[in-house]
Chain A
Amino acid sequence: MGMAANKVGIISCSGEEIPEGTISRIATRLVLEKLRPEETVTICLPLFLAGSEDERAFARVFPTITVDGCDKRCAEIGTKKYSGKPTATVVVTDILKKYPQLNLKSRDELNAEELELAEKVAEEIAKKVDEALSQKRGAKRRKS
C-alpha cells in the first residue's frame, strides 16, 4: 500500500440480495474506472475478515468511503470493525429517497433506469472522493 499518497479507498457492500447492492457495486466500479480512476482504489469487503494485516490496514492507510446498498450498512460497520473508521459514507437507499418514482428490480444486470441511478450514486461518491482528498491536502499543509 505504498502508493497511498493521493488515493481514496472505496469499499462497497456489493450485496447480492437486493438491487441496491448491485447499484452500490456498479456505482463503485464507475468511480474506479471512469470518474476517478487515478484517485481511487478498492478492496473486497469480506477480505477484511479473510485476509492478512495488510488488508486490514486498508482504512488506516487510505481515507475510505463506504458505499452501502441498504440501512444495514454492512460496509460501514465491517470497515469500522475490521479496519478503521471511514472518512465518509454513502447509502443507496438514502439517495433513492430523492427518486420515489424509481422501482428497482434487477439484481444482476441493471436496466437503463437503474443504470442512471448507479451513475447518480457514482457522482455522489466522486464528490466525496474530492472532499476527502482536499481534506487530506489541507491536513498535510497544516502539518508542514
Chain B
Amino acid sequence: MMESGKVAVVACAGMDKALGSVARASVFKVVEALRPEKTELVCLPPLLVGVSSYSELVKNFPVVVVDGCAERCATKLVVKNGGKIRGRILVPDSVKKQGLVPKSASDIGSDGEKLAGIIAEEVASMVDKLTEE
C-alpha cells in the first residue's frame, strides 16, 4: 500500500558528467534534509531494467525529475514506466540561470554544491505544491 501525500523524486544518475553529479547531490538534499517525510527517492537503474516495485512508485506518486543533461534520461525512463511527471528541472538550465559551474563529476566543488542547494530548494517547493493539492 502506497502512502498518500508523497512525491517520487527521480534524478539522473549521471556517471560521466559533473551536471549528473549535481542532479544526484540535489535530490539527496531533498530526501534527506529538506523534505524527508514527503518524498520517496526512486533509484533510476531499476527503472531502466523494469523492476516492477520501482515502476509502481512512479505510477502511484506524482513525480519530480531532475535531469543532468539534454538526453533527459530520468524523464524518458519515468515516462517509459508509466509515471506522471509533475515537475522537472534540467540542470544545464539552472547552470545558465545561476551562473554556477560545477567542477567535475567526482567533485562538484563549492559552486556545484551551491547549485545543488538551489535546485534542492526548487524541488522542495515543487514537492510542497504537489502535496498541498
Contact = CB atoms under 8 A, between A and B. Distances in A.
Interface of A: 11-18, 21, 25-26, 28-29, 33, 42-51, 72, 74-75, 77-78, 81-82, 107-108
Closest 5 CB pairs of A and B: A74-B45, A46-B73, A17-B43, A14-B13, A50-B73
B16 interface: yes
A74 B48 contact: yes
Given A17-B41, A74-B45, A74-B46, A44 B24 contact: no
15 contacts: A12-B15, A13-B45, A15-B43, A16-B11, A16-B27, A16-B28, A17-B43, A21-B13, A46-B12, A46-B13, A47-B71, A47-B73, A49-B48, A49-B77, A50-B77
B14 to A, nearest CB: 5
Given A15-B13, A108-B25, A72 B73 contact: no
A72 B24 CA distance: 20
Contacts of A17: 41-43
A89 to B, nearest CB: 14
B75 to A, nearest CB: 9
A78 B48 contact: yes
Given A47-B71, A78-B45, A72 B106 contact: no
Contacts of B84: none
Contact of A50 (B42, B76, B105): B76
B33 to A, nearest CB: 10
Contacts of A78: 45, 48-49
Interface of B: 11-17, 20, 24-25, 27-28, 32, 41-46, 48-49, 51, 71-74, 76-77, 80, 105-106
A72 B28 CA distance: 21
A28 B14 CA distance: 12
A45 B32 contact: no
Nearest to B47: A46
B32 A107 contact: yes
A33 B41 CA distance: 28
B28 A107 contact: yes
Nearest to A107: B28
A108 B17 CA distance: 17
A21 B43 contact: yes
B73 A16 contact: no
B15 A43 contact: yes
Contacts of B41: 16-17
B28 to A, nearest CB: 4
B45 A49 contact: no
B49 A77 contact: yes
